[in-house]
Amino acid sequence: KVYMKKFNYRFILLLIFSFLITSSLNSYAWTVSPVKFELKGEKGKEYTLSFSVLNESQTAQKRFKLVVDDWGLDKRANFIIKGYSSGTLEVKESAVPWLKVTPTQFVVPPGRSRRVRFTVSVPPDVQGDGDYTAGIFVSEENIEKPPKGKRIVFIKQNTLIGVVLYTQIGQEKQNISLTNLLVESAPSEEKGFYNVAVIPVFENMSNVHLRGNIKVLLTPSPDQTLTKEQKTSIDAVEKE
C-alpha cells in the first residue's frame, strides 16, 4: 500500500509537470502568413501589401518587432540575413529603401492576429531590369508574464520569421544552365540495391529568380538484367 501511494503521487506530479511544459510550448506558438510576395512593379508607382501575424497562444499576449533588411543565399543555399550575418552579404538589386512598414512594434492578444501593411515605392529612376529583393523579419520582442494566478513553466526561445519580397521591374530575361552534376552512391542494406544521390548544380544568370522541376530517368546498362523488384523501384523513382 505504501508503494502504491508513492507511485500515485509520482504519477500525478509527472502529469502536472508534463501539462506545464506543454502549456509553456503552446504559449510560444505564432505564425506569419503569407511569407512571400512576388510583385510586378512599374517605375514611379506605389504598392500597398499586407500580411498577418497570428498569436496562437491561448494564455499570453506577445510583443513583436519588425525589421526590414537584405537577405540572400550562400553557396550551400542557406538563408542569410544581412543584419544577422557575421560575413559580408552583397545585394546589388536591393528593394530595402523602397519599403515602409507600419507599425514596426505591436502587441497581439492571445488567440488574435494583427494585420501588418507595408508600402513598396518604386523610384522613377530605377536603373536596370529584373528582380529587386527585400525582407521583412518578424521577431518576438519579449516574453510576456503569465496571467495572474497561473503557474506556467516558460522556456525562452528566439524565433525569427521572414517575409520575402521580389519586385520585378522591366523586362524579364531568363538564362539558367547546369554547371555540374554530382552522383554519389553507396550500397544499400537491401541486397542488390544502391542508394544513389544525384546533386545538380545550376547557375542562374537571369535577372529574375527561377524555379525548376527535375525529372529523373534511370536506364540500366545494355548488359544488365533487372529483377522485377528493381524495375518496380525504378518506376517509383521516376514517378516522383
The tens digit of pLDDT for each residue in 66-125 reads 999 999 877 777 788 888 776 677 788 999 999 999 899 999 999 999 999 999 999 999
Nine-digit cell at 237? 523513382
Where do we find the cell 500515485? 8
Q: How far apart are CA 130 and CA 31, in angstroms?
A: 30
Question: Above 90 in pLDDT, residue 233?
Answer: no
The tens digit of pLDDT for each residue in 167-211 reads 999 988 888 888 888 888 888 877 767 788 888 888 888 878 877
Q: Which amino acid, 19?
A: F
Percent of the chain clearing pLDDT 70 (strictly above): 71
Paired with 5 in beta bridges are none
* Ramachandran region, residue 125 (left: φ > 0; alpha: ψ -120 to 50; beta: rest): alpha
Q: Which of 107, 184, 89, 102 is nearest to 136 (CA)?
A: 102
pLDDT of residue 189: 78
DSSP string covering 152-181, please? --------EEEEEEEEEES-----EEEEEE
CB-CB neighbours of 97 under 10 Å: 11
Give whole-number Cα distances, 205 to 79, 95, 159, 174, in Å.
19, 20, 33, 7
Nine-digit cell at 177? 544552365
Query: Contact 169/129 with Cβ under 8 angstroms?
Result: yes
Question: Above 50 in pLDDT, residue 215?
Answer: yes
Question: Above 80 in pLDDT, residue 230?
Answer: no
| Mean pLDDT, the chain, integer | 79
* Ramachandran region, residue 111 (left: φ > 0; alpha: ψ -120 to 50; beta: rest): left
In degrees and rounded to multiples of 5, residue 138 shows phi and psi of: -105, 130
pLDDT of residue 91: 81
Q: How far apart are CA 6 and CA 1, in angstroms?
A: 9
pLDDT of residue 178: 84
Q: What DSSP character marks residue 144?
A: P
Percent of the chain clearing pLDDT 90 (strictly above): 36
Q: Which amino acid, 223?
A: D
Query: Contact 131/208 with Cβ under 8 angstroms?
Result: yes
